[in-house]
A = this chain, B = another copy of it.
């Protein structure tokens, strides 16, 4: 591991400072694949509800890196053996965990690149970087993929029920939205981390911080990630892209350059996601989507232009969210109102205006590894068992809701 010859720090309103712990990490940050994340917002369209939530995936990745640096420091101070090479691999793994995200990921995953997860694309990009950097990311990739059985806790720090990713995004999203419900004691949680039999554990005295963390995650889901107005905006953008693909045999308005055109022309599945697709994918960012919507506001297709204008002027569909499925009656009623508003709407266009879907909130998944508590007697148990209250059990039950968007 090559240390940076300077104490490289970056201002961060959430933690005060972000650190860049090694020269290799610095070089990876400088790479265009990573710099692209500056142009992708962390919370996509949430800004229509929370005007402060304009932070980027670039910022989040640096934040998660910062937490990883501290987590590894803490574990080492408790006697956990982590080599310099492993530490750097863990830093790189968390830094790049989201590098495969496209703009408005959740929207795109439902439209342009159905079935190709961002984790998969992250891995593709990491392999490319590994080549460019002469194999120096080998170990980072193994840890990222969960292929390092010697020390599974390194993978768990990147991807688990209490990983540095979640720990950063809860704090950062809470900070930028101003939703205090998401505040968690990140410092405290990291201080409580330890390793037992190769697995990440939280010391017993940290059980209440874990409880707080799980509750905060649940509340952030409802108040931010699944906020009804943000969902309505998401559905609108999905409809726009679906319509664009539907009508847009001629993409002249987007110009000769436009990575989006590649993805609009056809649905790309994981097996079709070839080198050319990746070349174009790494060009994509929020600007491409939004400039396309801006161009489409003048498109001759009435549906496309109407929806695009609505998006730009934050004229969003109304949304109903409820516990039970959307009944046929409610569906008809919503359709009727929407027709009243858009009298020219054709039957086969209704699906772009009236849309239904599911929301799921599952704050804690014990079956997906869970969060393990290290008792003072040295035994390990699941957090839900360790709690002196049954509320963690409740929080490991998924809550599902149904929604319909329409235009009254």
Contacts and interface: CB of A to CB of B under 8 A. Distances in A.
Contacts of A123: none
Interface in A39-91: 39, 41, 47, 49-52, 54-56, 58-59, 62, 74, 77-78
Nearest to A178: B13
A175 interface: yes
Interface in A230-280: 252-258
A385 interface: no
A78 B7 contact: yes
B391 A395 contact: yes
B388 A391 contact: no
Interface stretch (A107-115, A208-216, A332-340): A208-216
Contacts of A74: 7
Interface stretch (A141-149, A156-164, A180-188, A366-374): A180-188
A315 B35 CA distance: 10
B7 A191 contact: yes
Most buried by B among A9, A212, A315: A212
Contacts of A177: 11, 13
A54 B51 contact: no
Contacts of A223: 208
Contacts of A184: 180
A120 interface: no
Contacts of A288: 291, 294
A136 interface: no
A318 B73 CA distance: 30
A288 B191 CA distance: 39
Interface string A199-218: 00000000011011001001
30 contacts: A7-B191, A11-B50, A11-B177, A12-B178, A13-B52, A16-B187, A30-B314, A32-B312, A47-B56, A51-B56, A52-B59, A54-B56, A54-B59, A180-B183, A180-B185, A181-B209, A181-B212, A212-B215, A212-B219, A218-B389, A254-B255, A254-B257, A255-B295, A257-B295, A285-B294, A287-B291, A323-B388, A389-B399, A393-B394, A394-B394
Given A16-B178, A258-B295, A287-B294, 12 more contacts: A11-B50, A30-B313, A35-B314, A41-B54, A52-B55, A253-B256, A254-B255, A255-B255, A255-B258, A288-B294, A389-B395, A389-B399
Interface of A: 7, 9-14, 16-18, 30-32, 35, 38-39, 41, 47, 49-52, 54-56, 58-59, 62, 74, 77-78, 175-181, 183-185, 187-188, 191, 208-209, 211-212, 215, 218-219, 222-223, 252-258, 283, 285-288, 290-291, 294-295, 298, 312-315, 323, 388-391, 393-395, 397, 399, 401
